[in-house]
Amino acid sequence: MIILGDKYKFNELELKKLNKKFKDIKFLKYYATRESSAITRKEIKNLLKDKYYKYLVINSDYDIDKKMIKFLTLLQFRYRRKPLHIISIQKLLERHLEKLYIPDDSKNLEFLMDIKPYNTFEYSIKRCVDLVCGGILYSINFFLKFYVKKKIEEESPGEIYFLQDRVGKNLKTFKCYKFRTMHKNSYFEKYTKGNDDRIFPFGKILRKTRVDEIPQAINVLKGDMHLIGPRAEWSILVKEYEKEIPYYNERHIVKPGITGWAQVNYPYGANIYDTKQKLMYDLYYIKHWSLWLEIKTIFKTIAIMIKRKGI
């Protein structure tokens, strides 16, 4: 695969995934000047002489000049047996990284047209999944809470559950249930850190294995949340994110979930960059929702919990 330009900056996780699919990836610079275009065309010719590349990805901040367009068009005819497919960076992210490209500016808003709430049929399927899986999780929570309560009281006396205002569909807030993992009356901090002294030892285990999320089955059965969906974020953080990240509130056209496509594909992050990356996965999930994607997310969640020695 040849990637032309550097409009979108790939992170380490993305490069790792792409290298598994495409063993040889070449990055070429492109600038909107006659000299630069000529050099880039020559580089592409030399690459294609030695090896077959399936894709050429347009990833440039600049408009592609006429000579380059003609050159790329002719390339598709020259290699008919093994054609060179020319695709945009948007298509690459959707097809091969399963995330939606979010522009940093407002030049192209077409992608927003594809972000729609679930239709009646899709919602009915999701609600069936919610009731079945939510009921199972609620039963697990019922028996698990006695052990969890005992362990919490040993390390940090107080309530078993932690309730917090989270933002749901259409920006409506609701009380989200979780097993308490922090000491009562801990000091205020928006994000948790690696060795956060607010979290007691058993709380760290609950967080690492994601068992602290199981009480959210109550929210699922009440209809505040889905089993699968964008993460239910704290209302204070949402106010910050919507100021810094274009189109952040698009994720709120559907209900949040206990787990989601972003959570199983991207590690925990406590900054604006990581939040934007997760939004790209959330919007992909909303746009491409299917029962298969729902099942795939469930199994990925289970695999993550097992790897972390969860239940």
Q: What's the pLDDT tens digit per position in 5-17?
A: 988 999 999 999 9
Q: Specify if 105 maps to a domain.
A: no
167 and 271 assigned to the same domain:
yes
Distance (Å, rounded) from C-alpha 301 to C-alpha 288?
A: 18
Distance (Å, rounded) from C-alpha 44 to C-alpha 84?
A: 11
Residue ranges of E strands in the chain: 2-4, 26-28, 55-58, 85-88, 161-167, 173-179, 226-228, 257-259
**Please, what is the average pLDDT of the chain?**
89
Number of domains in the chain: 2
Q: Specify if 217 maps to a domain.
A: yes
**Average of per-residue pLDDT across 274-298:** 96
Residue with tokens 């999780």: 137
* Structural domain of 71: 2-97
270 and 216 assigned to the same domain:
yes
**Average of per-residue pLDDT across 9-32:** 91
The pLDDT of residue 310 is above 70: no
81 and 130 assigned to the same domain:
no
283 and 196 assigned to the same domain:
yes
Tens digits of per-residue pLDDT, 63-102? 888 888 888 888 777 655 677 889 999 999 999 999 999 8
- Reduce the DSSP state of residue 52 to 3 states and report it: coil
Task: Indicate the residue among 97, 130, 159 that finishes a domain.
Answer: 97
Output the pTM of the full model. 0.89
CA 184 to chain centre: 31
Specify which residues 234 forms β-bridges with.
Answer: 166
208 and 175 assigned to the same domain:
yes
Lowest-confidence segment of 20-24, 79-83, 267-271, 298-302 by average pLDDT: 79-83
Q: What is the pLDDT of residue 180?
A: 92
213 and 260 assigned to the same domain:
yes
Q: Specify if 111 maps to a domain.
A: no
The pLDDT of residue 205 is above 80: yes
Q: Which token pair is 272?
A: 């604006």
147 and 244 assigned to the same domain:
yes
Pairing of strands 173-179, 161-167: antiparallel
**Average of per-residue pLDDT across 252-274:** 92
80 and 163 assigned to the same domain:
no
The pLDDT of residue 309 is above 50: no
133 and 187 assigned to the same domain:
yes
Q: Which token pair is 84?
A: 């060179």
